[in-house]
Amino acid sequence: MEATAVKKYTYKDFVSDQEVRWCPGCDDYVILNSMQKALPEMGVEKENVVFVSGIGCSSRFPYYMNTYGVHSIHGRAPGIASGVKLANPDLSVWIITGDGDAMAIGGNHFIHVLRRNIDLNIVLFNNEIYGLTKGQFSPTSLVGQKTKSSPYGNTQPPFSPGELALGANARFYARIGGNNPKAMTQIFIEAHRFKGTSLIEVLQNCVIFNDGCYTDVTDKEVKDDKQIYLEHGKPMIFGKNSEKGLVLKGLKLEVVTIGENGITEKDILIHDAKEQDPTMHQMLIRLEYPLATGIIRAFDDVTLEEREDELTKKIKANSKYKKTDDLFFSGETYEVKAP
Amino acid sequence: MSIESLTKESRTLKPEELQAVVIRFVGDSGDGMQLTGTQFSDTSAMFGNDIATFPNYPSEIRAPQGSLYGVSGFQVHIGSVEVSTPGDSVDLLVAMNPAALKTNLYALKPGHTIIVDKDAFTKKNLEKAFYETNPLEDGSLEGYRVIEVDMSTLTKETLKDVAGLDNKAITRSKNMFALGMVYWMYNRSTDHTVDFFNKKFKNKPELVEANTKVLNAGFYFAETLELIPNSFTVSPAKMKPGTYRIIMGNTATAWGLLAASEKSGLELFLGSYPITPATDILHELVKHKHFGVKAFQAEDEIAGICSAIGASFAGDLAITTTSGPGLALKGEALGLTMMIELPLVVINVQRGGPSTGLPTKTEQSDLLQAMYGRSGESPVIVIAAGTPADCFNFAYEAARLALEHMTPVVLLTDGYIANGSAPWKIQSVVDMPEIKNRKVTKATENWHPYNRDPKTLSRDWAVPGTPGLEHRVGGLEKDSITGDVNYVPENHQVMTNTRAEKIKRVQDNIPNLKVEYAQEGDLLVVGWGGTYGTLHSAVKEFTDQGHKNVGFAHFNYINPMPKNTEEVFKKFKKIIVCELNSGQFAFVLRANFGQFNFHQINKVQGLPFSNDELIQKFKQIL
């Protein structure tokens, strides 16, 4: 198995010779470093890794990775990545995208790539703003948010990437703060191991155009109290002293304190990321307090390439056509003889 | 007359010999006219005739019965001489209802024959076709030979004893009655069609019986009917010896790609989105998983080409197929492919434009879009197929040029040749030209992704999975040596020039322009792409009329054009460019060969040229 393969690479093997040109202090550096640290742990050969991006700040990412890569056009990375993977299923293929790239111009491709479940990994840099075009509102910007294209406040309600993904039948969805490299690295490794399309939403701070947009949940001082880091098979417990937990009350999740009102750890919900039914995953995604992070959903399903492969093998085994000649000269042909 | 009274030996007439015949079968979209026409064509081809066919059907799937816009037709031209078009005017019109008669009578030659299903000329159907009086009764068809047959009644009578048939099945087989009649008239055997029934309805013996009975009933009816004075025959044509089959342009395109995949040893990947009239290529390629074909129906045109770009990056022979509006959507991705210099075949089966235009009609109006429809200076190879069978060779050629020159190639076909069919002398892959590719498999010192072949300027193709050649490509301008992102002004100039020069050098890898008929003289008729058949036939007729000073040069290579183009143009006093648009190729020619004066013949009606209109214009210009 890949997970137990001998580690032959270090972080440095995945650093390209290109100078990184993001703004100082951008979370994009954290994501890049986390990826470069995760790759040696995946047990995948360097030449078998492909990064495909669209357009936007995040989409410069492939240039900085010493692997194969395509910096493509706005919103279209899912199409290109799908072609790469279907052409060669042995590759580990990563899509690097942002909130505008994935959900505005590339919205159609985003939902369809999730529905098909090709074994691809999508890293969505969500900073709730357009950075590269210098500060317009994006499909995840909040109502009222003042941006260059909404000087009096944004009037367009946002998407929730996780809910959109579940609606498109995503099998794997994770969410993580852009300032949490340790967990991010682990999630990247898990996403690579997961067979099917995995979507990792990174809450990425844009220091220039939307600085502090996640501060109230991701800052070191508050994150343990404001976030719950979910792990499959473990109780949904959070808080600085692990004193809080989630229970189901009616059709809603409720925060309880362990030790109060007779609540014990046994009453706390156990996280089941592998459940097919997305209802609980959706409730977790919608939760405002605490904000759910970690791998929220990881439902094992047949991939598109597995289906295609099975079909192709069956058809090849039963077909009378081995070469094109067999096809061209089959059926209704006729001879014209020399006079 | 009752059906039982018809016998096989009622009449024995010596059939009259004809050189060529054009027959058009027309009826309601549900009347099975495509099948009827195809059966007649296949039977004639197997008999040894040269053939050309063209279906003409509405874009509505099941238009209201009896309506004018619901008429579906199939035209076939058979000959003992070379046949290069489905024919302009018709020798025999088979019309299954009033709407079909009304919309097609214009094409029938004066004095020629119409067969109608008289039963369909009801008050209701006449109203739907906006006939105030019945044309069979009001004398308006004087000047034609009209054969009125109670086809529906005779079909019902024929099938009264066949068990297991519902009314619908009975009504639907009346097209076979018409086909049987036409088989007798043109001295054709019904055997091929009976074989077809046996295969098609393998598990429905009642349908085999019913269709065979009706077909034979039509055949015997025609033989007995005194209204049909004579039968005709068209002898086998002189064709190159070999094994043939009838092939539709779109099928030939798909097969050309299969052949290129086998020859190049690369797996075939198709990324596509359904669009008329290109979808049949997708339909055909999805069938061939046994050859390892990966056909991916994407969520839209853009994802169609993008998945193909991904497959090309990963080392497959990558294809995307579309028609005009789809090519517009693919424009940005095509520009990326040009920029990152990957092999890709883009097939545009042109239809009537602009916008949604006339989806089921033909036109050549995407030439400039193919040439220039991208941001920035973005040269690609543009080639065009000339005939249905030609689609095989040019699909193969598109793949060969894309792989050898590391560039996207746009192959233009059109609705006319894509849906038309003709005999194809089957080509084995063994006999097809070699296809090289630029794959590099080993890391060498100082390797860069934009390392170029000094002769062709095409770059190396290092695919993921190859150790030591990890690299990044993208839409940003590249350093001319390392391939890294580079915004330096001089470098951009170098790269712009290199991309243009690379396409220009394709000239060394394509054949010279051929001239047919006069090699020099007063008039050179110039065409490109899917008009080959109509232009060839018109120039031939014009030459036969005594104009021996007229040459014909047809372009399959548009960008770049063959090296000898200027030499050819020099040999004629006048040049006339004929195309199914308002002068797009003439525009390109003027831009490249400003020293010549180009006359034009243009038509934008969704229809092919006719011989007569071409010849008339040749005369005016000469």
Domains of chain A by start residue, with CATH? 2-230+295-305 (3.40.50.970)
Q: Which of B300, B316, B391, B470 best tests the A interface by mutation, with the highest count of A CBs <10 A?
A: B470
- Among B267, B299, B429, pick the best mutation site for testing chain A contact (most A Cβ within 10 A): B299
Handedness of CA B380, B386, B387, B392 (dihedral sign): negative
Q: Which of A44-48, B85-89, B400-404 has the lowest average pLDDT?
A: B85-89
A54-88 pLDDT tens trace: 999 999 999 999 999 999 999 999 999 999 999 99
Strand A68-71 and strand B472-474: the pairing is: parallel
Nearest chain B Cα to A18, which residue? B484
Distance in angstroms (rounded) separating the CA atoms of residues A210 and A178: 14
pLDDT value of residue B10: 45
Portion 323-352 of B in contact with A at CB < 8 A: 332-333, 336, 340
3-state helix, strand, coil in chain A (%, to 5): 35, 20, 45
Q: How far is CA A10 from CA A13, A41, A265, B375, in A?
A: 6, 9, 40, 41
Q: Is the pLDDT of residue B7 over 50?
A: no
Do the domains B240-510 and B515-621 sit in the same CATH topology, yes or no?
A: yes
pLDDT tens for B588-608 read 999 999 999 999 999 999 999
Q: CA-CA distance, B418 to B53, in Å (whole number)? A: 11
B-chain residues near A58 (CB < 8 A): none
Share of chain B above pLDDT 90, in %: 88
> Residue B345: which residues within 8 A CB-CB, separation 6 or more?
B257, B317, B318, B319, B320, B395, B398, B399, B402, B408, B409, B411
Q: Are A109 and B299 a contacting pair at CB < 8 A?
A: yes
Pairing of strands B294-297, A244-249: unpaired
pLDDT at site A268: 98
Report the relative pairing of strands B71-79 and B20-28 from DSSP bridges: antiparallel
Computed over every residue of chain A, the mean pLDDT equals 96
**Contact A324/B at CB under 8 A:** yes
Tokens of B127: 């109203």
- A307 — contact with chain B (CB < 8 Å)? no
User: Which pLDDT score, from 0 to 100, does residue B371 have?
Assistant: 98
- The predicted model gives A290-295 an average pLDDT of 98
Q: What is the maximum span of chain B, computed from C-alpha positions, in angstroms?
A: 90
Residue B186, Cβ neighbours under 10 Å: how many? Answer: 23
Cα B223 from chain centroid? 35
Check whether A225 has a pLDDT greater than 70. Answer: yes
Asked whether residue B318 carries a pLDDT value surpassing 70, the answer given is yes
Residue B91 pLDDT > 60: yes
**Portion 52-111 of A in contact with B at CB < 8 A:** 52, 62-63, 65-73, 76, 78-88, 90-91, 108-109
Q: What is the pLDDT of residue B65?
A: 87
3-state secondary structure B206-219: HHHHHHHHHHHHHH
| C-beta atoms surrounding B111 within 10 Å | 8
For A55, the closest chain B residue by CA position comes to B475
What residues contact residue B601 under an 8 Å CB cut-off, 6+ apart? B576, B577, B578, B579, B609, B613, B614, B617
Q: Determine the average pLDDT of the residues in A233-246.
A: 97
Question: What pLDDT sits at residue A5?
Answer: 53
Quick one: which of B172, B219, B171, B168 has its CA closest to B193? B219
CA angle A124, A126, A128 (to 5 degrees): 150
Chain A neighbors of B311, CB-CB under 8 A: 83-84, 86-87
pLDDT band, residue B30 (cuts 50/70/90): confident
Sketch the domain layout of chain B as residue ranges: 3-234, 240-510, 515-621
Q: Is B292 on the interface with A (CB under 8 A)?
A: yes
Pick the CATH number of B240-510 from 3.30.230.10, 3.30.470.10, 3.40.50.970, 3.40.30.10: 3.40.50.970
**pLDDT over threshold 90, residue B363:** yes
Q: A48's torsion region: left (phi>0), alpha (psi -120 to 50) or beta? A: alpha
Give yes or no for B290 touching A (CB within 8 A): yes
Q: Which of B253, B268, B313, B337 to mutate to test the interface with A (most CBs of A within 10 A)?
A: B313
Interface of B with A in 217-256 (CB under 8 A): 236, 238-246, 255
Contact: B42, A332; criterion CB under 8 Å:
yes
From chain B residues 16-75, the ones with a CB under 8 A of any chain A CB are: 42, 45-46, 48
pLDDT at position A1 over 50: no
Asked if residue B386 has pLDDT above 80, the reply is yes
Q: How many C-beta atoms lie closer than 10 Å to residue B144's C-beta?
A: 16
Mean pLDDT of B47-63: 83
Using an 8 Å Cβ cutoff, are B472 and A64 in contact? no
Confidence of residue B43 (pLDDT cuts 50, 70, 90): very high
- ipTM, two decimals, is 0.97
CB contact under 8 A, B428 and A325: yes
Does residue B31 or residue A114 have the better pLDDT? Answer: A114
- pLDDT value of residue B13: 55
Q: Which residue of A has its CA nearest to B476?
A: A71
Confidence of residue A7 (pLDDT cuts 50, 70, 90): low
Residue B225 reports pLDDT greater than 70: yes
CATH architecture assignment, domain B515-621: 3-Layer(aba) Sandwich (3.40)
* Cα angle B224, B75, B78; round to 5: 70
- Judge: B470–A323 Cβ closer than 8 Å, yes or no: no
In whole angstroms, how far apart are CA A100 and each of A59, A124, A130?
A: 11, 10, 7
Question: CA-to-CA distance for B454 and B457, rounded, in angstroms?
Answer: 5
Mean pLDDT, all residues of chain B? 94
Chain A / chain B CB contacts < 8 angstroms: 207
pLDDT of residue B3: 45
CB atoms within 10 A of CB A74: 18
pLDDT in tens, B102-124: 999 999 999 999 999 999 999 99
**Region B292-320 average pLDDT:** 98
- Report which secondary-structure segment, H or E, holds B56: strand B50-56
On whether the CB atoms of residues A93 and A121 are closer than 8 A, the answer is: yes
| pLDDT tier, B232 (very low <50, low <70, confident <90, very high otherwise) | confident
Q: Does position B99 have pLDDT exceeding 50, yes or no? A: yes
The predicted structure's pLDDT at residue B163: 84
Find, in chain B, the residue whose alpha carbon is nearest to that of A81: B310
Q: Does A9 touch chain B (CB under 8 A)?
A: no
Q: What is the mean pLDDT of residues B4-9?
A: 44
Angle between helices B301-313 and A107-116 (to 10 degrees): 60
CA separation, residue B600 to residues B384, B528, B531, B585, B621 (Å): 19, 13, 14, 10, 10
Considering the domain B3-234, what is its CATH architecture? 3-Layer(aba) Sandwich (3.40)
Per-residue three-class SS string for A255-316: EEECCCCCCCHHHCCECCCCCCCCHHHHHHHHCCCCEEEEEEEECCCCCHHHHHHHHHHHHH
* Percent with pLDDT over 70 in chain A: 98
Q: Look at residue A6 and tell me whether its pLDDT is greater than 50.
A: yes
Work out whether the CA dihedral A62, A68, A73, A74 comes out positive or negative. negative
The pair of structure tokens assigned to A102 is 């994935």
The answer to whether B221 and B3 are in contact (CB under 8 A) is yes
Q: Compute the average pLDDT of residues B10-29.
A: 82
The residue among B163 and A57 whose pLDDT is bigger is: A57
